[in-house]
Structure 1
């Protein structure tokens, strides 16, 4: 039987070289044992994390800590007892594991952020059913880079997370739309996001719902839309007086749609294909501007202008709408 080493009983000067020789993942794992262990780890060993990311699965969240030295540390909070973890934390193959119940998700993220001097989460990926502990963690955030909701995340979990996180994040990716009604979906679209990406068939809603969006950049990928859907959306935009923040709408369709879908009422004016022009976003997004050639210019009844670009090939279509400020 091995006698545990009384690390916390060592004098201060003896602890300093011990922490200097410890792997970063071991320091982080040690910090999760208690409040005193966290304070020692934070004081005796400086660890700098670029981001902390959480993937919430059906039974446990997995937390990835991306360190400044281009390495990463994985941590999983299991629902069952972890072998040799002594109801606390264990480290195996550069992955930490904790038994659920030994520490809450909220406290776990709080301690990791404290020890690694990381001020916010980079992204959170939600999977599986509603987990109240995870929602408690999200409620503590003051800043979140990106929220990702995948197909198997329940509607109730997704809606609760969106309600909590929308005010503190600028980018949301939806692999499912968790709203049953147009009112709920449109209310969400009014959030002041920088980016909104939707990977969904879009079957329950139409492009017309996007007329109220306040996202600066909105991308729909592999949506089930027809040429008439594009035409109807443009006609409604032409007559609309809604002052949306939307600057760029990008559509990736799994069928060919070309400029023949443009309704006559728009009086679209083709722009020369051999002339390049630049669209500047009002904020620095993934890029500050985009340059392109060709396209069709249209002017709304209230004077607002937009440019539409079509690119088709191999049974696919890429359509970009740029709304000039």
Structure 2
């Protein structure tokens, strides 16, 4: 840590890409010297917290003190391993992060209220216990503009298959052909599914202000929710797919052939 700030200064580095906390010990000799250095970090792209026990998110936890320093200058947070103090996670869910990724391996069910208060542009909930009915209500809140206005992408994965009828009830969802592949951009990056995951259903929903979103239901209990850009001319979150290109090419080809026939 003693060399981090001078190196960042010499190389004109404006941010740290990843800051990983496997464990934080208050009695570590480096703890007292590390805290002042963390306070000088200008920006952290992503904070990854790996060590979770029942103690570390308590008010007396040294890690909690560290997170209070680095989270205000962070763009994204990844929380993994066992979470046994869900109420402390809500502080992260309500923060103004670009991306939040949570992996809950305990018995705690992710409730609708916690999903409703989230404020991240990108939210990933991996292997999280949730009710399909709650996810359906969240989409209805989005339709009424009563939840996270910053949301661009939501990914939820649970154990077992997703009940499609319960998920889409009352949303007036319009099915979209799976054969017409669409590639979405999330925060400027193409969003890829994990290995072995396949989208089996895809539906578009539109709210009163014409804002559109796509719900994709896949294998292994995955549900993805993409919010399209407000303007139809803004393609930052949507990449033209091969099939749309082929439709344009087909039109050009037909025009060319008709022109040749006239020339003949």
- Do they superpose with TM above 0.5? yes
| Structure 1: 5+ residue stretches without partners | 1-104
Q: Secondary structure at the match of 2:170?
A: helix
Instruction: State the match for 2:161 in structure 1.
Output: 256
Q: Identify the match of residue 199 of structure 1 among 103, 127, 131.
A: 103
Q: Identify the match of residue 43 of structure 2 among 117, 121, 143.
A: 143
Instruction: State the match for 2:253 in structure 1.
Output: none
Aligned-residue offset at 1:323: 1.3
Please provide the CA RMSD for this pair. 3.2
| Alpha-carbon separation, structure 1, partners of 2:161 and 2:200 | 20
| Alpha-carbon separation, structure 1, partners of 2:148 and 2:135 | 20
Instruction: State the match for 2:65 in structure 1.
Output: 160
Map Cα deviations across residues 170-204 of structure 1 (whole Å, 9 max, x no partner): 221112558653xx644432433232211114726
The one of the two structures with greater contact order (alpha-carbon pairs below 8 A, sep at least 6) is: 2
Aligned-residue offset at 1:228: 3.0
Change (3 A) 1:279 1:124: closer
Instruction: State the match for 2:213 in structure 1.
Output: 306
Higher strand share: 1
Instruction: State the match for 2:142 in structure 1.
Output: 237
Aligned-residue offset at 1:162: 3.1
Aligned-residue offset at 1:141: 0.3
Larger Rg: 1
Aligned residues: 211
Change (3 A) 1:201 1:298: farther
Q: Secondary structure at the match of 1:232?
A: helix
- With structure 1 as the length reference, what TM-score do the two structures score? 0.54
| Structure 2: 5+ residue stretches without partners | 194-198, 230-264
| Alpha-carbon separation, structure 2, partners of 1:209 and 1:303 | 27
Aligned-residue offset at 1:244: 2.0
